[in-house]
Amino acid sequence: MKIIAVIPARFNASRFPGKLMQLLGEKPVIRHVYDNVVSTNLFNKVFVVTDSSIIYDEIVGAGGLAIMSKKQHESGSDRIAEAVADMDVDVIVNIQGDEPFIQKQAIENLIFSFNDSSVCVASLMKKTNRQDAQSPNVVKVVVGKKSDALYFSRSVIPFERSESQTVFTHVGIYAYKKEVLLTFTKQAPSELERIEGLEQLRYLESGIKIKMVETDYQSVSIDTLEDLEEARALLNSQSYEKRK
């Protein structure tokens, strides 16, 4: 099975433009992501796919692989689909360019789920605290007995009957079979997708299951300047060194 990792990297992010080129230690955020993914040795190839010559030059200048998008795209999935359309691959892992602390074990478990031939799409989830569960910026997911996603929402799901109940948040790292991704990106956004602002709901509304894999790695997605400062603190902490 040929498996590649693709890191979609848009320069002008709406909430924090240029965030992927912000320094985190001695390297930009996007280099941390790329280098961490390459170091897992899980993939036939690792690419950054970008609309930015700045990001492209950063990756290629460091000896990495990058592809310039041919046109503008609304989402990372669309950007990846264009890049892999003519590639001979079976499974694509979509790793967000703002996840500098992605770890091998989490990705490996995600890939392992495809040993079940019925799995077409898989993603990660982790247990969360009550504060994050209340935030509309944190996406929650509920799953069935076989760990297939039942629904994703910015609201607290399931209904918060007690403060001690388990709530899972979605970690936005996906793996999909190539043909499923290409079909997905040709479909119009679904109604629930528009309401929640979550494109993964398009899969569920079209009847495609998403296998959810639990992880416990400490993720810091960099969406704001505050997130960047948190990431810098984590990079310098002894706890992060122990987890590497």
pLDDT digits over 92-128, tens only?
999 999 989 888 999 999 999 999 999 999 999 999 8
pLDDT above 90 covers a percentage of the chain that reads 68
pLDDT above 70 covers a percentage of the chain that reads 96
Residue 184 has pLDDT above 80, yes or no: yes
Looking at the structure, do residues 96 and 132 belong to the same domain, yes or no? Answer: no
Residue closest to 160 by CA, chosen among 146, 142, 137, 186: 142
Q: What is the mean pLDDT of residues 73-96?
A: 90
- Three-state DSSP class for 68? strand
Looking at the structure, do residues 8 and 75 belong to the same domain, yes or no? Answer: yes
Q: What is the 3-state secondary structure (H, E, C) of 84-148?
A: HCCCCCCEEEECCCCCCCCCHHHHHHHHHHHHCCCCCEEEEEEECCHHHHHCCCCCEEEECCCCE
| Domain region containing 97 | 1-102
Looking at the structure, do residues 195 and 125 belong to the same domain, yes or no? Answer: yes
Residue 228 lies in a domain: no
Whole-prediction pTM value?
0.89
Looking at the structure, do residues 65 and 137 belong to the same domain, yes or no? Answer: no
pLDDT digits over 7-65, tens only?
999 888 767 889 999 999 999 999 999 999 999 999 999 999 998 999 999 999 999 99
Residue 230 lies in a domain: no
Looking at the structure, do residues 87 and 168 belong to the same domain, yes or no? Answer: no
Residue 137 lies in a domain: yes
Q: What is the mean pLDDT of residues 157-183?
A: 91
Count CA within 13 A, CB hemisphere, residue 212: 24
Mention every residue, 6+ apart, whose C-beta is less than 8 A from residue 47. Answer: 4, 5, 6, 7, 65, 66, 67, 83
Determine the pLDDT at residue 155.
94
As a dihedral over the C-alpha atoms of residue 12, residue 56, residue 93, residue 131, rounded to 10 degrees, the angle is -30
Looking at the structure, do residues 87 and 140 belong to the same domain, yes or no? Answer: no
Determine the pLDDT at residue 244.
46
- Three-state DSSP class for 81? helix
Looking at the structure, do residues 146 and 213 belong to the same domain, yes or no? Answer: yes
Residue 240 has pLDDT above 90, yes or no: no
Residue labelled with tokens 């992880």:
215
Looking at the structure, do residues 160 and 190 belong to the same domain, yes or no? Answer: yes
Looking at the structure, do residues 94 and 122 belong to the same domain, yes or no? Answer: no
* Tokens standing for residue 28: 């930009």
Looking at the structure, do residues 140 and 94 belong to the same domain, yes or no? Answer: no
Residue closest to 231 by CA, chosen among 23, 72, 83, 69: 23
Q: What is the mean pLDDT of residues 153-164?
A: 89
Determine the pLDDT at residue 78.
86
Q: Are 76 and 65 in contact (CB under 8 A)?
A: no
Q: Tell me the pLDDT of the chain averaged across its residues.
A: 90
Amino acid at 103: Q
Q: What is the mean pLDDT of residues 60-82?
A: 87
Give the number of other Cβ atoms within 10 Å of residue 209's Cβ.
18
Q: What are the CA-CA distances from residue 215 to residues 39, 44, 154, 173, 236 (Å)? A: 19, 23, 20, 11, 23
Mention every residue, 6+ apart, whose C-beta is less than 8 A from residue 23. Answer: none
> Is pLDDT larger for residue 118 or for residue 69?
118
Number of domains in the chain: 2
Residue 13 lies in a domain: yes
The residue out of 46, 70, 102 marking a domain boundary is 102
Residue 234 lies in a domain: no
- CATH number of the domain bearing residue 141: 3.90.550.10
Residue 14 lies in a domain: yes
Give the number of other Cβ atoms within 10 Å of residue 72's Cβ.
9
Looking at the structure, do residues 92 and 41 belong to the same domain, yes or no? Answer: yes
The residue out of 78, 102, 126 marking a domain boundary is 102
> Is pLDDT larger for residue 236 or for residue 153?
153
For the chain, the 3-state helix, strand and coil shares in percent, each to the nearest 5, are 35, 25, 40
Residue 242 has pLDDT above 60, yes or no: no
* CA-based R_g, the chain, Å: 17
Q: What is the mean pLDDT of residues 77-91?
A: 92
Looking at the structure, do residues 151 and 92 belong to the same domain, yes or no? Answer: no
**Phi, psi for residue 174 in degrees, rounded to 5:** -120, 155
Determine the pLDDT at residue 14.
67
> Is pLDDT larger for residue 161 or for residue 145?
145
